[in-house]
Structure 1
């Protein structure tokens, strides 16, 4: 797993070009594209539309809808000309990804209504890989893209999908284009860009599996950390996120988030949940800050923002935190964030029935 960039978009387009140049003499309008309802010509044009649409939204910083324009082909454009349009619009997306600042997000509807530069690159790569496969299937030629591109698309856009024995068959299965042994067929699917939650002084940026993988290995996850970061709790949480991803039970809404400060773009800490809500709608929260960011109220602000995001959901009734008895600063954090100390009976039940470790205090917020 590695970061996706503009070079990967170019690599994906080259893979498409190499396959489709072998069938430029065929009638793309007469052949249905794999399992799609579109013909191969329409599908190829859709790839170019996706490229230019993603590039426009990212370059124009669109926030509420796609930039209002359409791509059209000149009358009489042949297959070679259409392939050139794909290559050109792919190059435009790659250039936009390369030049966009790291924190910039723009409109995309699924599922959280925005994507960053890596998300737009990954979506562009997904479009061209999958639709080249559709076209190739419709025209009866083989196609398989570079394995690292398929693996990156899964790690950046399909955090809810358990990795399979090989990336490309898994991506085909996850998008309803193939079978995977031991798994039910997929009939409906969406990819997922990462969730971001705004706060007053920073943004909580959802950590994707590819980022968590880098963090657990000692990397920076692509963030510009304040000196001393990321703290050990963020790395440990990333390890748990990867375990959930590999088991196929990761849900991004209940994953790990990095606090990225507005004033300078620096990452100052991590916060997240210890898993998905249980059957009673209870979910545990945890957090840490880089030492240089402590004492400024950042932790309280982060806990409040993430807790309110969770409690707004129908599947969450209670958010709780388990804190060591001698960790007074952390107790103050949750207290200021609206949590209350559990009753003696609630703590007894937590210890006896839910495995709360001895010596830990239970704080809750509904």
Structure 2
């Protein structure tokens, strides 16, 4: 995030002697000055929500800069950039000091975000609005590809990767074109979904976390015992493939099961994809070896299946279990699933709404 803010201040600092008030910022209705102030407002707003641990609403405060002009109290363009740098530093500090499990209010789509989500939203605001201002002023600007990728893989999980992260982010936010894709006229970013049970938090996995898990990383989680079991890494690989094909839907993806008492990940559970035309969705799961035998899988399966059956058009949740996996068969039975078919190797269970 500091890199994004530093890049913004450097790019706009080179044109700080220009008229920002009388020039429209790219395709926006705001002037370049209004857009620059908006960057600072977003940064301090996000910092405030994280610091306050806001749960249900905005923190009711705002910042005010001096007006443009030649008066003694007027804030010039360089002053605005100083405020952007300051509010960026405050948000960076809030992100670093906020515990991993904390989520604070953001209105859409799930009404909350964690520290990584707020960092990604802040980077998006900085990159995109710096682009708007420089476009309005007619000067070039292109941030590092890694920053655009950071945004895309965390809060644009439904966007299929394109030929270059920055061009893809501009297209995804209605600011550019990509060959073979329709122009975007309406968009919103998407933080990861979260469900809670008595003992667990089910945290939706972002494409960034899935990519790390699929190649042997921890996905940003602290795991019990030796770490993720094989099924979790396989599930993460499915998420990565869906993302690369533009088929990933966050709420129908994979969730890491995090024990709230110590913020340790104990396993993963998720859907094989979005519901089909018959309203059927398949679910799978596994637990780390050090977390088995404590009812975590049953607790999570009940919650995630119940959530799925509450969604429009979903009628059946399906679980396929290997014949020799007696503990897993016991889990689905305790969660209320019914055995509907079997062959030599697998049992198929269903839970109907």
**TM-score category, normalised to shorter length:** over 0.9
Residue 122 (structure 1) aligns with = 120
Residue 348 (structure 2) aligns with = 362
CA RMSD of aligned residues (A): 1.0
Distance 2:134 2:40 in 1: 17
* 2:9 maps to which of 13, 17, 30: 17
User: In the TM superposition, what whole-angstrom CA distance separates every residue of 1:156-195 from its partner, at most 9, and x where no partner exists?
Assistant: 1110000011000000000000000010000000001101
Residue 203 (structure 2) aligns with = 205
Distance 1:327 1:29 in 2: 68
SS of the aligned residue for 2:14 comes to: helix
Distance 1:266 1:55 in 2: 26
Distance 1:83 1:74 in 2: 13
* 2:291 maps to which of 286, 290, 293: 293
Residue 174 (structure 1) aligns with = 172
Residue 351 (structure 1) aligns with = none
* 1:140 maps to which of 138, 145, 150: 138
* 1:28 maps to which of 20, 34, 43: 20
Deviation at 1:359, TM superposition (A): 2.3
How do 1:182-261 residues align onto structure 2 when only pairs under 5 Å count?
182-261=180-259
Distance 1:74 1:106 in 2: 30
Specify every segment of 5 or more residues in structure 2 that has no aligned partner in the other structure, as ranges. Answer: 68-73
Check whether the contact 2:323–2:344 (CA below 8 A) recurs between aligned residues: no
SS of the aligned residue for 2:222 comes to: coil
Deviation at 1:358, TM superposition (A): 5.0
Distance 1:283 1:266 in 2: 28
User: In the TM superposition, what whole-angstrom CA distance separates every residue of 1:73-106 from its partner, at most 9, and x where no partner exists?
Assistant: 1341111111111110011000110111111110
Distance 1:108 1:181 in 2: 33
Residue 46 (structure 2) aligns with = 54
SS of the aligned residue for 2:19 comes to: coil
Deviation at 1:273, TM superposition (A): 0.6
Residue 66 (structure 1) aligns with = 58
Q: Which moved more, 1:91-100 or 1:324-333?
A: 324-333
SS of the aligned residue for 2:117 comes to: helix
Deviation at 1:228, TM superposition (A): 2.1
User: In the TM superposition, what whole-angstrom CA distance separates every residue of 1:30-66 from its partner, at most 9, and x where no partner exists?
Assistant: 1111111111111111111100000000010000111
SS of the aligned residue for 2:256 comes to: strand
Q: TM-score, normalised by structure 2?
A: 0.96
1:37 matched to 2:29? The reply is yes
Residue 101 (structure 1) aligns with = 99
Distance 2:314 2:24 in 1: 45
Distance 1:24 1:178 in 2: 25
**Highest relative contact order (Cα 8 Å, sep 6+), 1 or 2?**
1
Q: TM-score, normalised by structure 1?
A: 0.93
SS of the aligned residue for 2:174 comes to: coil
SS of the aligned residue for 1:285 comes to: strand
Distance 1:80 1:327 in 2: 65
Distance 1:291 1:362 in 2: 24
